[in-house]
Amino acid sequence: MEIKFGLISADSHAAFARDDFTSRMSEKKWGDKIPQVIEFEQDGEKHDGWSLYGRTPSGEQRGFQPQVCNCPALMGEPFPHWPKRWEEVPKMAYDPVERLKALDIDRVDAEVLFPNPPGGNYHQFGDQEYEFDTLQAYNDILADWTKVSDRYLPLISIPWLSPPDVIAKEIERSVGNGHRGINLLGKAPKGLPHLADPHWYPIWDICSELGVPVHFHGSAGIGVGDTAKAWDGYSKRQAHSASTSTSAVTPAQIVPQLIFTGVTERYPNLKVVFAEAGIGGLNYLINTCDHVWELHHLWTEGLTTRPSEVIRRQMFVNFWFEEEGIKLRHDIGIDNIMWEADFPHVASYYPDSWGSVERVLKGVPEDERRKLLYENALRVYQIKVSVPAE
């Protein structure tokens, strides 16, 4: 990969073409259960949305993605607004060739790709075979992006309902096809063991062996702040603001689990990335985890490594607007922070991400800027640079 601009997004979102799944999955086997764009009516107006497992608005609501594409950063004025019909979706959202133009406009060298509608989880239907086939198609779609350009760094979505050894094989297969990590929920789906259970060791094993990071994005499906979010008095924009703001506590829900269950002690090379959850909260975690480790003498129970050492060794967080977090960068760890664009979502600063970068990093020394903006990402995602930045 060539570093031309000196900026890598550790959190962006790949959109999907309407035929991405129908062209890869067996129509004979799955029929209308294949993820596909369908027309529906809402408040007397026609819209397009993603149907999953054959569900439509006239049937059971679960499994229907009414948003055809989450791409307000590309939609122009009035901002923000979202496409209602497929024909309105900009090709820069879902076409990997066209998307390179967006990266160049925003002066971004590369991007880590998280899900967009129709999403990256299909366990909710309780159909193991369907989940596996759909996620193989999902992972293959993004593998094709890497054939277009090495500027795309996709993440694997895993088939939760499959046996862990099967999941591990899918991770290994997808890494071989160009993926750079896996994206997980903060808690396993209902009925499955806790993430720290030995049941999941094959996943930690393969990620450690291959050196690919594990990711938890936003709320990571934990549902933190549900009480605050659930109020009928919110406008749509107010509700979205209340929902996304609570993601800052996601690392506090997951990091202590990984440390105090002994997962990080067992897997000292496992890299864990928290995307779209800010960075300032990690400073609190460093302090509180050390405090309780000392208070309860947890080294006597096999947790021999001080939590702050574990966090700085294995945990990574992303920023994009957070000036206050950057002030804490040395407490958190200058090697543990990466920049994110969140493109093409509403929080993205596209097409002027550099304007935000300069504001947030004002006064930060050049050597530290390089780490935060792309050097840490090069290391975390094992990226080989063909033309080093000057």
The Cα-based distances of 361 to 153, 324, 365, 368 in angstroms read 25, 10, 9, 9
Going by pLDDT thresholds of 50, 70 and 90, the confidence category of residue 232 is confident
Are 170 and 135 contacting, i.e. CB atoms less than 8 angstroms apart? yes
For residue 210, what are the domain limits? 8-19+90-380
Name the burial class of residue 236, with classes exposed (0-12), middle (13-18) and buried (19+) by CB atoms within 10 angstroms of its CB: exposed
Nearest to 48 by CA among 6, 89, 96, 14: 89
* pLDDT bucket at 4, cuts 50 / 70 / 90: very high
233 vs 201 pLDDT, higher one? 201
172: its two tokens = 């290994």
Give the span between the Cα atoms of 120 and 52, in whole angstroms.
12
Please state, for a pLDDT cut of 90, what percent of the chain lies above it.
84
Q: How far apart are CA 131 and CA 135, in angstroms?
A: 6
If pLDDT is split at 50, 70 and 90, which confidence band does 221 have? Answer: confident
Region for 119 from its dihedrals, namely left if φ exceeds 0, alpha if ψ lies in -120 to 50, beta otherwise: left
Q: Tell me if 167 is assigned to some domain.
A: yes
Please state, in angstroms and rounded to a whole number, the distance separating the CA atoms of residues 320 and 287.
23
pLDDT band at 61 (very low <50, low <70, confident <90, very high): very low
Residue 84 domain-assigned (yes or no)? no
- Nearest CA to 276 among 89, 105, 112, 81? 112
What is the rounded CA–CA span in Å between residue 8 and residue 13?
13
Whole-angstrom Cα distance, residue 148 to residue 143? 9
Residues 280/333, Cβ–Cβ less than 8 Å: no
pLDDT, average across residues 286-315: 96
The reply to whether 72 falls in a domain is: no
Give the CATH number of the domain where residue 151 resides: 3.20.20.140
Is position 181 within any domain? yes
Q: Is residue 43 part of a domain?
A: no
Q: Estimate the crossing angle of helix 280-295 against helix 307-314, to 10 degrees.
A: 150
pLDDT tens digits, one per residue of 331-349? 999 999 999 999 999 999 9
User: Which tens digits make up the pLDDT trace of 351-380?
Assistant: 999 999 999 999 999 999 999 999 999 999
Calculate mean pLDDT across residues 2-16.
97
Which tokens is 159 given?
A: 């088939």
> Per residue in 80-134, pLDDT tens?
999 999 999 999 999 999 999 999 999 999 999 999 999 999 999 999 999 999 9
Q: How confident is the model at residue 42 (pLDDT cuts 50, 70, 90)?
A: confident
Query: Does any domain span residue 143?
Result: yes
Question: Looking at residue 233, what is its pLDDT?
Answer: 83
Residue 64 inside a domain? The answer is no
Instruction: Report the domain count for the chain.
Output: 1
Residue 57 clears pLDDT 70, i.e. is over it: no
What is the per-residue pLDDT for 58? 47
49, part of any domain: no
